[in-house]
Amino acid sequence: MYSTSAPDPGPVVVTARRPRLLQRLTALYSGVASVVLLVATLAVYRELVNDLDREYDVLLRENALLVDALLLRPGREPQRSLLALDENRKRLGAQRMLLRVVAGDGTVLVETQGMSTLLPTSMFRAAMDPALADLAGRDVHVDGRRHRLATATLRSTVLGGSEATVQVALDRSVDEALQERYRVLLLLVVIPGLAACALLGHWMARRAIAPIAAAADRVRGIDENSLHSRVAADDLVAELHPLMQSFNDLLVRLEQAFDRMRNFGTHLAHELRTPINNMCGEIEAALSDPDADLAEVLRSSRDEANTLSHVIEGLLFLAHAERPGARTAMHPHDLAAVAEGIAEFYEPLAADAGIRLTAHAVARPTVAIDMAMVQRALSNLPSTSLAGPPSGGAIAMTTGMQEDRAVIEVADTGCGIAPERLPTIFDGAYAHAVTVAPKATRTGLGIGLSIVRSIMRLHGGSVSIESRPGHGCRVTLRFA
């Protein structure tokens, strides 16, 4: 017997709530837009800084060339001419310029007043020829002010000889203020821009999942009474068509499963009602007849109770076999010997019914099987077939090989099965007429074939049936 108690559900696992799709899409769209905005803003700001640096490098080169030109045509006092250059720039409103001429041995020949204290010679890099390339200046911060420094060679030999160099520095305080104003302006643009990205991302996310919400509304109205309905997907986005098609296919399978369950329940109720009615009728007759043979009534009731017990046992076996993780005890066995044993067991019953039952082996394959389950499957086939062939008919069990797979065929010469009944014959929803003498004709439940299919699935195999009305049936078990 099989236990009907519910399996232990195990410990309850509490999972963290995952963010909704709308939230994730909003975060994705907002994040992407914000990153693009920030990258673009930083790129624009960086380009401004680079442009200012290039502009100051050009100014450094021009001033270095200007100093060299003054020294190529010196007056009586070249030092005074150089110092006057910065004064003239101040009058013109240009940035303050500091300059220093250094001899080859490092001696300072002339410099702007206070330059040694503010910008010593060690802060300047190696000299470059301003006539050949732009000077690559560098920025330094001194006393809270930023200066851009560069060193250039001199063609003039008036001061310091042929190895003299000029060190030029430009005050960039004005640029710092400009860059500060630009950073504030960018912040005033970026902060509202980020908020706009969030709102735009939320709007785009709602637009993106709107078709999913529409599909959910259509699916929500389907229940067990409307499984025949199908979800229309023609007006939905193309990406949802495969999902809706899969859901509609699921509805087809569910509808078929519910139909099989309803039919099975109907036949099961009929199968259980017949022996119960027989028992009740015989008991009522015995109660109303003082001379009734109570022993015969009890024997008949026992037979009907056994019939009910077999049906219930078959249902419990199906529930066990079709449960996920059902176990089987697999061991190698000779399939032909198993079939011959079943034929030998049922041969007396077949002889009493006037039916010839034989077992034949074309091959004797050895297959890993659960002996008890396979015996039960093979027992269901002859017992079912015994109700089919008339007296003088035959049932043949044949063991062999087909396409490298072990098979057992059970064929009878009965009345056959109508073609429209074959697709559902393994679902337990098929009943065939059986005369149960000396009582009345009743139906035999097709639960035996459902058990056969479940057993073959547990063995990784399959079962199929071929039949033509008036020509009998052929059931084939194929093992893995």
Query: How far, CA to CA in Å, does 105 sit from each of 102, 128, 165, 444?
Result: 8, 17, 11, 121
Question: Does position 2 have pLDDT exceeding 50, yes or no?
Answer: no
Query: How far, CA to CA in Å, does 157 sit from each of 78, 82, 109, 162, 402?
Result: 12, 15, 12, 5, 108
Query: How far, CA to CA in Å, does 405 sit from each of 367, 399, 451, 453?
Result: 10, 11, 21, 17
Closest by CA to 227, choosing from 241, 242, 247, is 247
Residue 362 has a pLDDT of 93
- Amino acid found at 192: P
Backbone φ and ψ of 458, nearest 5°:
-65, -25
pTM for this model (two decimals): 0.48
Mean pLDDT throughout 232-250?
A: 82
Residue 143 has a pLDDT of 82
What is the rounded distance in angstroms from the CA atom of residue 475 to the CA atom of residue 388?
Answer: 13
- Cα 281 vs. chain centroid, distance in angstroms? 60
* CATH code, 327-478: 3.30.565.10
**Mean pLDDT value across the chain:** 79
**Res. 388 pLDDT band, cuts 50 70 90:** low
Question: Does position 436 have pLDDT exceeding 50, yes or no?
Answer: no
Query: How far, CA to CA in Å, does 26 sit from each of 40, 194, 203, 208, 238?
Result: 21, 13, 8, 10, 22
Mean pLDDT throughout 315-334?
A: 76
Higher-pLDDT residue of 189, 70: 189
Residue 26 has a pLDDT of 82
Among 139-143, 170-174, 196-200, 439-443, the range scoring the smallest mean pLDDT is 439-443
Encode pLDDT of 346-361 as tens digits: 888 888 888 888 999 9
Residue 443 has a pLDDT of 41
Encode pLDDT of 138-176 as tens digits: 889 888 888 889 988 887 766 656 678 888 888 888 777
Question: Does position 471 have pLDDT exceeding 50, yes or no?
Answer: yes
Question: Does position 314 have pLDDT exceeding 80, yes or no?
Answer: no
Closest by CA to 156, choosing from 90, 116, 109, is 109
Range among 66-80, 168-182, 434-448 with highest mean pLDDT value: 168-182
Residue 13 has a pLDDT of 45
Domain ranges for the chain: 22-181, 327-478
What is the rounded distance in angstroms from the CA atom of residue 257 to the CA atom of residue 427?
Answer: 9
Strand order in the sheet with 97-102: 108-111, 97-102, 165-171, 145-153, 138-142
**Res. 81 pLDDT band, cuts 50 70 90:** low
Question: Does position 476 have pLDDT exceeding 90, yes or no?
Answer: yes
**Are the C-beta atoms of 370 and 330 separated by less than 8 Å?**
yes
Higher-pLDDT residue of 35, 291: 35
Question: Does position 65 have pLDDT exceeding 50, yes or no?
Answer: yes
Question: Does position 5 have pLDDT exceeding 50, yes or no?
Answer: no
Question: Does position 122 have pLDDT exceeding 80, yes or no?
Answer: yes
Residue 434 has a pLDDT of 41
CA-CA-CA-CA torsion sign (158, 163, 169, 170): positive
Q: Helix H segments across 358-421?
A: 371-385
Domain 22-181 coded CATH 3.30.450: yes
Closest by CA to 434, choosing from 426, 424, 446, 422, is 446
